[in-house]
Structure 1
């Protein structure tokens, strides 16, 4: 078979073509693929690939071509398989294709590929496929199936502009309010989606938590309280009364439709103070319209970094981060530049 080739990759394209032809000829002459691989300085798998290509396409398969891999060429998944997986990631949740969970992670995509095609890929390879398809891991917007698109459109086009105009006329402040729970075992997830497009779309040991109620304005103002136990009407009114006294000007308060906000006692209290505070309800099942949801996510992320070991540490971490944000009005204002709440930026 001739002289041993030390590294075929260093040869020119023409020399590599000649090497491929001689290697195929050697195998066809009766030499083993392993022996040919040793002599020509390539792997047995490479020799097998040359033989397979020659058997399918003849000498044309051995010709020198432009170096580098064309999109979709010599990959574990062929273009049709890639397109099918990409469609699933873009248009379905994992639970719609018999997989657990609601967000796409690399292990989920790897499992899908294994289930559909019997191909087991590494997580690194799965990540390369996802990026080659123009996808990136992103935090999804959670959107309820029960959401009424017409109510959302009416809020964006009619109701909120009217609130904004009234507040401007009264020199009042608009505050968005929300409550959230922080848990010691909380986790944050992400899903793969097209780059630049926010996707739409749920521990063991002793667990503990603390609740936070916060209100923010598009001017960067932030007011909050941390509490344990259930959210009740008396607690809500006591905090709201302190807020009204502290601000000394009329408040237009935007809230969700949770039962406490709709209690008769709350309505009666507001009716007696209509010149100082008015409450407006967001459309049902539309939390993405409330910028405080973004603050909640920010708090949860930073509190998790603190790894609180006790309820007191959890409360302290939450209060500390919120006080920091109170001193960073530009950061609070930046929340209103997110696409889903940009309507409220003022």
Structure 2
């Protein structure tokens, strides 16, 4: 049999040859015969048998090729731990780096400043991914919002509304208005590489407004209109909401000026046995479930 070049064999085949040589040797075969049967050199068989006799089966098991994942890392485990703590406890300015916030370039500079280790930006990204640090879209919040007012709403105001609705056999609705246009941004679909999806649109621009209310069970009632948001449109919607609900309506709205219009306040006072309006704290759209409906309308 032609001798095999072990360097060209897979690690699995090399291991099989070693195990086969030991099995044949234990069966009483001579080293020269084993070499011929397997197709390897006589010296290789002698070497494997010597290793096996000295250390047993474990001694002839091949080690995994290539560098270990640990040896491929430029930072030690201790350095990684220290760096992760640094990213939480410090900001770049405290290290006298020319950055206000942490990013790959800032981390790269910090690593070199502390340990004099040069790491490529792509590798920094790999480290961050391994640590669970991924790019996140910021949540935008108005600086005028009041956390105390929001907490009071959650702890006191809303529980009172819910209790009253239960006592008076009422129904809680969360209302909001939005507008949509035919040239709005569409969601990004998936498609095979090189085949860009085509969306056919009407070249004429038009828009429509929607006022809606969602109850705690997810039931949505809405009204479409082509006019601008004003008190009369809101009153028209509230009248229809009362009629369809068949129960007293506890309507939660944000504090848009139109919701406080004189015409609206007068009408609400005359119909307080049918509907009451409550207002969310300023700049707190996340408290209103109806906002999700508006988002889906615009991105769908």
Normalising by structure 1, report the TM-score. Answer: 0.50
Change in CA separation of 1:141 and 1:293 when aligned onto 2, cut-off 3 Å: farther
Aligned ranges for residues 134-213 of structure 1 at < 5 Å? Answer: 134-136=132-134, 141-183=139-181, 184-186=183-185, 209-213=207-211
Bigger Cα displacement from structure 2, 233-242 vs 276-285: 233-242
Q: Secondary structure at the match of 2:273?
A: coil
Residues 187-223 of structure 1 show CA distances to partners (whole Å, capped at 9, x for unaligned) of: 779xxxxxxxxxxxxxxx9865433322111112111
Residues 10-42 of structure 1 show CA distances to partners (whole Å, capped at 9, x for unaligned) of: 6x9xxxxxxxxxxxxxxxxxxxxxxxxxxxxxx
Q: Secondary structure at the match of 1:267?
A: helix
2:70 paired residue number: 70
Change in CA separation of 1:132 and 1:231 when aligned onto 2, cut-off 3 Å: same
CA distance in 2 between partners of 1:215 and 1:129 (Å): 46
Change in CA separation of 1:119 and 1:71 when aligned onto 2, cut-off 3 Å: closer
- 4+ long deviations beyond 6 Å: 111-120
- Pick the structure with greater CA Rg: 2
Q: Secondary structure at the match of 2:144?
A: coil
CA distance in 2 between partners of 1:141 and 1:281 (Å): 23
Say whether the 8 Å CA contact 2:242–2:274 is kept in structure 1: yes
Aligned ranges for residues 19-98 of structure 1 at < 5 Å? Answer: 68-70=68-70, 73-74=73-74, 79=80, 83=84, 87=88
Say whether the 8 Å CA contact 1:179–1:213 is kept in structure 2: yes
Residues 309-336 of structure 1 show CA distances to partners (whole Å, capped at 9, x for unaligned) of: xxxxxxxxxxxxxxxxxxxxxxxxxxxx
CA distance in 2 between partners of 1:285 and 1:243 (Å): 25
Q: Secondary structure at the match of 1:284?
A: coil
Point out where structure 1 has 5 or more consecutive residues left out of the alignment: 13-63, 92-96, 190-204, 303-346
**Correspondence for 1:219 among 192, 210, 217:** 217
- Superposition RMSD in Å: 4.4
CA distance in 2 between partners of 1:145 and 1:72 (Å): 45
Change in CA separation of 1:249 and 1:139 when aligned onto 2, cut-off 3 Å: farther
Residues 29-63 of structure 1 show CA distances to partners (whole Å, capped at 9, x for unaligned) of: xxxxxxxxxxxxxxxxxxxxxxxxxxxxxxxxxxx
Q: Secondary structure at the match of 1:174?
A: strand
Task: Using the TM superposition, give the Cα deviation of residue 186 of structure 1 relative to its aligned residue in structure 2, in angstroms.
Answer: 3.1
Task: Using the TM superposition, give the Cα deviation of residue 136 of structure 1 relative to its aligned residue in structure 2, in angstroms.
Answer: 4.7
Q: Secondary structure at the match of 1:147?
A: coil
CA distance in 1 between partners of 2:71 and 2:178 (Å): 46
2:236 paired residue number: 238
1:293 matches 2:296: no
Task: Using the TM superposition, give the Cα deviation of residue 246 of structure 1 relative to its aligned residue in structure 2, in angstroms.
Answer: 1.6
Number of aligned pairs?
215
Say whether the 8 Å CA contact 1:175–1:253 is kept in structure 2: yes
Say whether the 8 Å CA contact 1:181–1:210 is kept in structure 2: yes
Normalising by structure 2, report the TM-score. Answer: 0.57
**Correspondence for 2:129 among 120, 128, 131:** 131
1:284 matches 2:250: no
Change in CA separation of 1:297 and 1:135 when aligned onto 2, cut-off 3 Å: farther
Q: Secondary structure at the match of 1:220?
A: coil
Change in CA separation of 1:138 and 1:219 when aligned onto 2, cut-off 3 Å: farther
**Correspondence for 1:261 among 256, 259, 262:** 259
Task: Using the TM superposition, give the Cα deviation of residue 224 of structure 1 relative to its aligned residue in structure 2, in angstroms.
Answer: 1.3
Q: Secondary structure at the match of 1:70?
A: helix
